[in-house]
Amino acid sequence: MGGTPTDLKMIDENGRRLDGRLPNEMRPLKIEAGVLKRADGSAYVEWGLNKVMAAVYGPRECHPRHLQNPERALVQCHYNMASFSVDDRKRPGPDRRSHEISKIISEALTNVVFTEYFPRTSIDVYIEVLQANAGTRCAGLTAASVALADAGVPMRDLVASCAAGKVADTVVVDLAKEEDNFGQADIPVGYVPRTGEIVLLQMDGDLTQEQFNKGLHMALDACKNVYEVQRDALKRRYSARASDAELASEGEGGDKREVA
Amino acid sequence: MSKDVVADLKRDHISKLVAKGMRADGRKFDELRPLKIETNFIGSAEGSARVHLGNTEVVVGVKLILGEPFPDTPNTGVLTTNAELIPMASDTFEGGPPDQESIEVARVIDRGIREGHAVDMEKLCITPGKEVWIMFVDVHVLDYDGNLFDAANMGAVAAFNSAVVPAKRAGKGEDFPLPVMHQPISVTAVKIGGKLLVDPTHDEERVAEARLTVATIEDGNLCAMQKGLDGSFTMDEVFQVVDMSRRIGAEVRSKM
């Protein structure tokens, strides 16, 4: 971030970016819900070259106990990068960056979870970055929302997340690694499409007010796309389950559950 | 607390099944769960594998960086194995520095690949006594349904087969495939009610009296072993596990 543009040409004559995308074009996004057996809910996200797994345990007993809130559940996110997820091996364990990301993702998710339904408990969200290529906090938050829904945690809506940024004086969406490293600004956003609320927002770099306006608009549009992919992942997961249940009950009108 | 009540019911159920010669998932006692290995899963690693062994899922990443050899082995590269039993994988795993369990997993895997000479470590020496490749084998457990030892071992061996030494990036000549010598495969069995069950699930591990891991290489020779839990094995039982490990190890190796 903040590095001066090098010999890399971030935007070519045709307005295409390093990987051929247009400024408002996202990297390919794939989400799969319910991929782990032990976790109460889980989701796997491949977003460009990012590979991120999210798992949810809870609501369950809150540890350490002094964190318990007698009125609400605590949403505790733990963001972690695998040592092999980046080019230079990362030392295992949390660092200051991952602590900060864990905190802001916890706060974004707390906003949409009906925490008052589960006093004194903890809802633990684990985000594991297996392969990183810029935008892992957005991929992690996106995966975590789907994992929470997969765990059956009552929520007002999913949080969809995507970043905007600036490369070669052009406002673009969903920065890839080179764009993040040599770009001029980065704005990760977490958005609640149903209510239009922004629940995660960071920015670093240099932007004019106009560029920021444009970037935020582009990020929210991208979040709406992310939201569709999230919903689709959950639908696929539960239509598969519903047809399993129908087979099992052999037309006896087995229990039908609303999942939305 | 509630966990122990469930464990009692489970213990009963599993022991009764075993007495009738059955297992909860319908497998034979000497049968491995379905094994799926996907190599080159992580682009940022020099070699990698994602392993599904039944419901157990691990990702193994191999990273190679330049460093100094140990003074007592100036002509060989350095092998470092690390296992992360992250809380994502099970409600019984906790964050923080590695505990005894993950250290045992890492050390058993390390022993299998080190003593089985999975990689020719001498070929990872650049300047004797000065500069060698340090090979990090990182095991990341995503979903824990028992038998981490074998899932991680198979993942490591598969990751070696796909690994490339990044010599060019480090300015040390051309990239070359990791010099793989052998394919040491470990097979773990547990003892429940006097019977030996290969590739235990998490529930089976929880009721097991004793556990034995045996690693073998292509010629059927043994290269590493680890007995665990507070139960015991007779000599005959140990030989049985060795036999099973040799047979299943050969099957797994033929699929790599």
Can you tell me which residue has the tokens 């507070």? Answer: B230
Q: Each residue of B89-142: pLDDT tens digit?
A: 999 888 888 888 889 999 999 999 999 999 999 999 999 999 999 999 999 999
Q: How many Cβ contacts (< 8 angstroms) between chains A and B?
A: 86
A51 near B CB under 8 A? yes
pLDDT band at B47 (very low <50, low <70, confident <90, very high): very high
Does the CA dihedral A151-A58-B94-A90 come out positive or negative?
positive
ipTM metric: 0.80
Chain A residue numbers touching B63 (CB-CB < 8 A):
83-84, 89
Q: Each residue of A1-32: pLDDT tens digit?
A: 444 545 678 999 999 999 999 999 999 999 99
Tell me chain B's radius of gyration from C-alpha atoms: 19
Query: How many CB atoms within 10 Å of residue A37?
Result: 16
State residue A260's pLDDT score. Answer: 41
State residue A250's pLDDT score. Answer: 59
Give the Å distances, CA to CA, from B127 to A42, A157, B71, B192, B197. 47, 59, 13, 51, 47
CA distance A53 to A229: 16
State residue A1's pLDDT score. Answer: 47
What's the CATH class of domain A29-249? alpha beta
DSSP character at residue A39: S
Chain B residue numbers touching A126 (CB-CB < 8 A):
86-88
Give the Å distances, CA to CA, from A234 to A149, A218, A229, A244. 8, 25, 9, 15
Tokens standing for residue A232:
């689709």
pLDDT band at B255 (very low <50, low <70, confident <90, very high): confident
State residue A9's pLDDT score. Answer: 84
- pTM for this entry: 0.86
CA angle A150, A151, A152 (to 5 degrees): 90
Domain that holds residue B114: 24-255
Whether residue A189 contacts residue A198, with contact meaning beta carbons closer than 8 Å, is answered with yes
Chain B residues with CB under 8 Å of a chain A CB are 41-45, 48, 55, 57, 59, 61-63, 65, 82, 84, 86-91, 95, 97, 136, 138, 140, 142-145, 202
CA distance A110 to A58: 14
Q: Which of A144, A135, A180 is nearest to A28 (CA)?
A: A135
> Would the pLDDT of B1 be above 60?
no
Query: To the nearest 5 percent, what fractions of chain A are helix, strand and coil?
Result: 35, 30, 40
Q: Dmax of chain A from CA atoms? A: 68
CA distance A7 to A4: 10
Q: What is the mean pLDDT of chain B?
A: 93
B120 within a domain of the structure (yes/no): yes
| Region of residue A134 (phi > 0: left; psi between -120 and 50: alpha; otherwise: beta) | left
CA distance A141 to A159: 7
Chain A residue numbers touching B42 (CB-CB < 8 A):
51, 82, 84-85, 130-131
Three-class SS state of B57 = strand
Output the domain CATH number for residue B243: 3.30.230.70
Q: Each residue of A34-77: pLDDT tens digit?
A: 999 999 999 999 999 999 999 999 999 998 889 999 999 999 99
> Would the pLDDT of B60 be above 80?
yes
Please provide the DSSP assignment of A150-183 as one string.
HTT--BSS--EEEEEEEETTEEEES--HHHHHH-
Give the residue from A89, A90, A125 with the most B CB atoms within 10 Å of its CB, the best one to mutate.
A89
State residue A105's pLDDT score. Answer: 96
B10 within a domain of the structure (yes/no): no
Q: Which of B38, B56, B249, B58 is nearest to B162 (CA)?
A: B38
Chain B residue numbers touching A132 (CB-CB < 8 A):
44
CA distance B27 to B43: 35
HEC string of B31-78 equals CCCCEEEEECCCCCCCEEEEEEECCEEEEEEEEEEEECCCCCCCCCCE
Per-residue pLDDT of chain A (260 residues; tens, 9 = 90+): 444 545 678 999 999 999 999 999 999 999 999 999 999 999 999 999 999 999 999 999 998 889 999 999 999 999 999 999 999 999 998 899 999 999 999 999 999 999 999 999 999 999 999 999 999 999 999 999 999 999 999 999 999 999 999 999 999 999 999 999 999 999 999 999 999 999 999 999 999 999 999 999 999 999 999 999 999 999 999 888 788 877 776 544 444 444 44
State residue B160's pLDDT score. Answer: 98
pLDDT band at B7 (very low <50, low <70, confident <90, very high): confident
pLDDT band at B2 (very low <50, low <70, confident <90, very high): very low
Q: Each residue of B98-107: pLDDT tens digit?
A: 888 889 999 9
Instruction: Report how far Cα A122 is from the mean position of its chain's Cα atoms.
Output: 20
Q: Is A86 within 8 Å of B44 when comparing Cβ atoms?
A: yes
Q: What is the mean pLDDT of chain A?
A: 91
Percent above pLDDT 90 for chain B? 86
Q: Which of B76, B51, B80 is nearest to B63 (CA)?
A: B80
What number of H helices and E strands is found in chain B?
5, 12
Domain ranges of chain A: 29-249
State residue B5's pLDDT score. Answer: 57
CA distance B129 to B70: 8
